[in-house]
Amino acid sequence: MWSVKILIQALTTCLFLLLAAGCVAREARASQFEHLPVGAKARLGRGTVEAVQYAPNGTRLAVGGSAGLWLYDQAYEVEFLLTGESPPTPPTIPQGRRNVRSVAFSPDSQTLASVSADHTELWGDGTVHLWDLATGTLQHTLQGHGLDEVWSVAFSPDGRTLASAGGDRTIRLWDVATATLRHSLESPYRIWSVAFSPDGRTLASAGEDGTIHLWDMTTTTLRHTLQGHTDRVRSVAFSPDGHILASGSEDHTVRLWDVATATLRHTLQAHDDWVGIVAFSPDGHILASVSGNRIIRLWGMTTATLQHTLADHTYQIVSVAFSPDGRTLASINWDRTVRLWDMTTATLRHTLQGHDDWVSSVAFSPDGHILASGSGDHVRLWDVATATLQHTLQGHTDQVRSVAFSPDGHILASGSKDRTIRLWDMTTATLRHTLQGHGLDEIWNVAFSPDGRTLASGSEDNAVRLWDTATGTFQHMLGGHGGWGWVQSVAFSPDGRTLASSSSSNDDIRLWDWATGTLQHTLQGHGWLDEIWSVAFSPDGRTLASAGGDGTVRLWDVSTGTLRHTLHGHRTAASHVVFSPDGQTLASASLDGTILLWDMDVVEIVAVNPAR
C-alpha cells in the first residue's frame, strides 16, 4: 500500500505527463497572448505533444508539440504561445510548420530553451532558441548543429551551461550568458536525449545505437558507456540523488543503471511500444515512463515494480462533423475515441469510448440525435444527448472508411476497405443493400445527393461511382483524376447539381455536372505533391473549401472555379473541412492535433482586402 505522501508525489508526476499527452479533460482558456491565424476565432486542442517541462519554481509549465510551444501558468491557463513575435500581436502567417521536440527551463525559471523540427523534412534547422519568460520574447538563437535536427536540450544545475544534441552526432555545450559555444563532444551515433546529474559533474547522452554515454563535465571526456538496450534509447533521467540513471528505449523497456559503477540494476518490462519519456518524482520514489501509444506507467523505485498504468488518447485529428443545429462538433483521433465539443463555449463536452480500432469517419443523423462512427469492420451508433452506445452494425469484413446519413435519416451508408458499400435501414438497424462494383479497389468516401436518391463513392481506382439508393444499382462512373492514388473525398453541392471530388495523387479537385457526367472545372493550388484530404460546400453552394497536405485550407468560387482565399494556421496536413449549418463557421481539422474554427465573415473581409 502506498503512503499518502508517495501517492501525492505520484499524482504530481502524472499531472504533467497527462498534460503532456493531452489527457486533461478541461481545455485551457485562451488568453490575450494565444496565437490564432487571421480569420480563426478558436482553436480546439493543443496538438500532439512531444515535450513537457515544469519550471523549477513551479510557476509555469511548458508544452511543446505539433501546434508550437505553449506556456501555461499555475492554473493551467495559456499564458503564451511562443512564436518569436512580441505578443499580443501574432504573425498573420505562422512561422512555418514547426514541431517543438524538446524544452528545458533554466534553474532560475527565467529562461526556456526549445528546439523544433519541420514536419515536411527529415531534419530540422540545427538551431536552439532561448526565450525570456518575463516578456515571452526570443532572447537568443544558438546555431552550430548545421542542418541536422536538434533532439534534446538540458541546462546544467547552475544554469550556466546548456547542452544540445541531435542528428549531427555531437553534443554542444553553450555558455548561456553569452550564447556562445564552449565545447563539442563527439559521438559515433545520433543522440536522442541528454541530461545533467544533480551535481552537474556528469552528463548522460542516449544514442541511436542503444548505448548511453556518461561524460565527465570537468574534463569533458567520456567516462563510461552503458550497454544493454537492443534498440534506440529515447530518453534518460537522473534520480534526484544522482545515484540512478533511468533510460527509455525503442526496445519497449526501461532500464535502471547504477551511476557510480556503470552497471545495470533493473530492467522494467511492461510497455508494448517504444518508451519516449522517463521522469522521477521529486523524492525519487516514483519513476514515470510514457510509451509511444500514450500509456503512462508508474514504477515503485524501492521494489522496481509496476504500481499503476494510465491510458491516454491524444493523436492526430482526422475528421470532424457538425451537428445539424451547429451546437456540437464531433472530432475523431487515431486514439479510438470520438470527442464532442460544445460550440458555444469551445470546450469538450463528451468523449465516446469503446472502439477497438481507430475511428475513421463520423456523421450526425439529420435530426442530430444519433452519431454514427466507423471503426474496424463495424459502425457504431451513439445517442448524442446521453453519449451512450445504441447499436453496433456488423457486416463489413475490413476497415470502415466512411459513413453518411441520407437526408431523411432513414439510410446510413458505409464504405469500406473490403471494397463494398453497405446501406443500413436506420429504423431497424439492419442491412438493406450491399453495393459492389469497384472491383478490387477500396472505398474511401461516400456521400448522398441532397434528394437522397443517389450515392456517390470514391475509391482507389481514382474514379467516382454513382448509385441508385432505392435499388442499390450502379448508375454511371466519373473518371479523369488519373495518377496512382485514389479519390479521397466526394461532396454534393446543396442544390444537387454539382459533385466535387478530390484525389490523393495530385493537386486536383474536380467539379462535375454529375447528371451528364461532364467536367465543369478543375481546381489546382495546393501543390502537386500534396494530396487533398477533404472538400466541402458552403450551405449556399457558392464556396468550396478544401483541406490539403500542405497544411492550408483553400476557399474556391464554385461558379468560376477560381481560388478566393488561402487560410494558413495548421502546422501540418489539414485533414478535414466542414461548414456549420448556418455557413458562418468553417471547421478545419489537422494532423497537428488541433481544430481551427474560422469566422467566415472575417475571412471574406480579408479575402476582399488582404492588407487588412
The rounded distance, in Å, linking the Cα atoms of 339 and 332 is: 6
Contacts of 478 (CB under 8 A, 6+ apart): 463, 464, 465, 466, 499, 501, 510, 512, 514, 517
pLDDT in tens, 444-456: 899 999 999 999 9
- The pLDDT of residue 484: 61
Contacts of 395 (CB under 8 A, 6+ apart): 378, 422, 431, 434
- The pLDDT of residue 606: 54
**All cell numbers assigned to 193:** 536525449
Question: Is the CB of residue 194 less than 8 Å from the CB of residue 153?
Answer: yes
Find cell 474554427 and name the residue: 597
The rounded distance, in Å, linking the Cα atoms of 18 and 54 is: 13
Omega before residue 88 within 30° of 0, cis: yes
- The pLDDT of residue 137: 83
CA-based Rg of the chain, rounded to a whole angstrom?
A: 26
- Give the highest mean pLDDT range of 122-126, 423-427, 585-589: 423-427
Q: Given strand 378-383, what is the order of strands in its sheet?
A: 359-364, 370-375, 378-383, 388-394
- The pLDDT of residue 89: 31
**All cell numbers assigned to 72:** 501555461
Specify the amino acid at residue 440.
Answer: L
- Give the highest mean pLDDT range of 85-94, 129-138, 402-411, 455-464: 402-411
Out of 2.130.10.10, 3.40.50.620, 1.10.3720.10, 3.40.50.300, the CATH code matching 317-608 is 2.130.10.10
pLDDT in tens, 492-534: 999 999 999 988 766 689 999 999 989 999 998 776 556 888 9
Task: Fill in the DSSP letter of residue 125.
Answer: -
Computed over every residue of the chain, the mean pLDDT equals 82
- The pLDDT of residue 320: 79
Confidence of residue 561 (pLDDT cuts 50, 70, 90): very high
Chain Cα centroid distance, residue 582: 28
Least confident of 20-24, 136-140, 537-541: 20-24
Confidence of residue 35 (pLDDT cuts 50, 70, 90): low
More confident residue, 38 or 301: 301
**All cell numbers assigned to 29:** 482558456
Task: Fill in the DSSP letter of residue 335.
Answer: T
Give 157's Cβ-side CA count (13 Å radius): 13
Specify the amino acid at residue 59.
Answer: T
Q: What is the mean pLDDT of residues 71-98?
A: 50
Task: Fill in the DSSP letter of residue 18.
Answer: H
Contacts 24+ apart (CB under 8 A), 301-310: 301/239, 301/244, 301/256, 304/256, 304/265, 304/266, 304/268, 306/268, 306/270, 307/2, 307/10, 308/10, 309/270, 310/14, 310/17, 310/18, 310/23
**All cell numbers assigned to 79:** 499564458
Least confident of 23-32, 189-198, 434-443, 549-558: 23-32
- Domain range annotation of the chain: 317-608
**Residue 258: Cβ-neighbour burial (10 angstroms; 0-12, 13-18, 19+):** middle
More confident residue, 143 or 310: 143
